[in-house]
Amino acid sequence: MKNKNWKKKAEDILTDDLLVEELQNKNQSTNLLIEDESKLAYDILNTVSANDNTFDPSQKDLLGKRITHTINTAKRRNLIISISTAAVFLLLIGLTTFFTMNNESEISVFAHNNQSTPLTGNTRLILSGKEEIQIHSDQSKIAYAGNGKEIQIDSSRVQQVVEDDKMVYNTVVVPYGKRTQVTLSDNSSVWLNSGSKLIYPARFADKKREVYLEGEAIFEVSHNKQRPFHVITRDMEIKVLGTVFDVSAYTDDATSGTVLESGSVELKYKTNSLLSQSKITMVPGMLAVYDPIEKTVKQTQVNTKLFTSWREGYFVFERQSLEEILKKISRYYNVSIQLEDQSLANETFTGPLDLRNSATQVLEIIAVMINAKVENIDNHIIITRI
């Protein structure tokens, strides 16, 4: 036991630089040490020093090479770990891109490649991404024959070439202040609101019906269990068999939403996971709002008329803020609206507004309810508090 105590204390001595220096100077007179412990530490120090001198030049060279080899091996190991980590990361990105590209439908690719279509001027029908037809009416109707080759535009008729083995995509661009109804080749109807764009095949494929939407539209889909109908937007994909629903997916809105009036739909949306989507099934009377930042969907029970009444020519509001109302009216009439007093933005309004009236007349109805006045100067409407 005594030797073990000496050894332990001797190790403590050898880790103290000041005491080691005393031992090296053969100065063992310090009162902090017991004689036997000092001697043991001194002997250990001498042994280590002696062994250091026993290496001949070839042994030292060999030892140096071994140390260098060990260091280089450690460096290579760390480099391999770093490269492997980066490779896994790049592989993950590559797989994500691969799956995204391969999961992206043909119509989505077409939409992404044809984005430069300004929402100004007249309503336009673009055939096969090339020929453009101007439609001058504010409320227009476009109807396709079952073969996709014949198109009725208001009172005129046009034709286009549709090959049996090739998908032909057409685009309807509805600027602010305009609306249009499109009857597709399967007899489904789409009501496009102001500031919207719809891309669709002149004639649908045999197994699936797909359209791409930017903006807002109400869909009344003809039932066909063998050919489900898909509405694709920037953030969502809605799958239906036969139903009536509204989709709002304006690019300048913070969120996208879907309101189901009848039937049922399956809604797919992007999540925070790199390689997956989530989906929910909606029932009539529900509003699903997708937040592209949080990548979540929130469902609430609503009065669907609040979202679909514009198809009938009027807006219905229920305790909605003036800020939200003005955004809808500005889009619908293509007018600039300015609030002189920003505190008015939080005022709420409930009731219907007849859209057959002018923008000024519609806003004057609201102004009476919130003690404000409306001025229209060169199609620029100013609202001030009384």
Q: Report pLDDT for 101.
A: 38
Of 258, 247, 199, 204, nearest to 228 (Cα)? 204
Better pLDDT: 277 or 220 = 220
Rounded-to-integer distance, Cα 250 and Cα 234, Å: 9
Confidence band, pLDDT 50/70/90 cuts, at residue 207: confident
Does the pLDDT of residue 106 top 80, yes or no? yes
Q: Percentage of the chain with pLDDT > 90? A: 58
Compute CA distances 186 → 16, 212, 354, whole Å: 91, 16, 32
| Exposure letters 205-224 (e unless 16+ CB within 10 A, then b) | eeeebbbbbbbbbbbbbeee
Which residues, other chains included, contact 182 with Cβ-Cβ below 8 Å and sequence gap of 6+?
A: 141, 142, 143, 144, 172, 189, 190, 192, 198, 200
Identify the pLDDT of residue 29.
Answer: 46
What 3-state class would DSSP assign to 49? Answer: helix
Q: Where are the domains of the chain?
A: 2-52, 106-304, 313-385
Of the listed ranges 273-277, 330-334, 368-372, the least confidently predicted one is 273-277
Domain 106-304 shares a fold with domain 313-385: no
Q: Which fold has domain 106-304?
A: Jelly Rolls (2.60.120)
DSSP string, 186-219: TS-EEEEPSSEEEEEESS--SS-EEEEEEEEEEE
- Tell me the pLDDT tens digit for each residue of 151-186: 999 999 999 988 877 889 999 999 999 999 999 999
pLDDT of residue 142: 98
Q: What is the mean pLDDT of residues 51-71?
A: 59
| Overall size of the chain counted in residues | 386
Q: Does domain 313-385 have CATH number 3.40.50.720?
A: no
Is the pLDDT assigned to residue 89 strictly greater than 60? no
The end-to-end CA distance of the chain, in Å, is 100
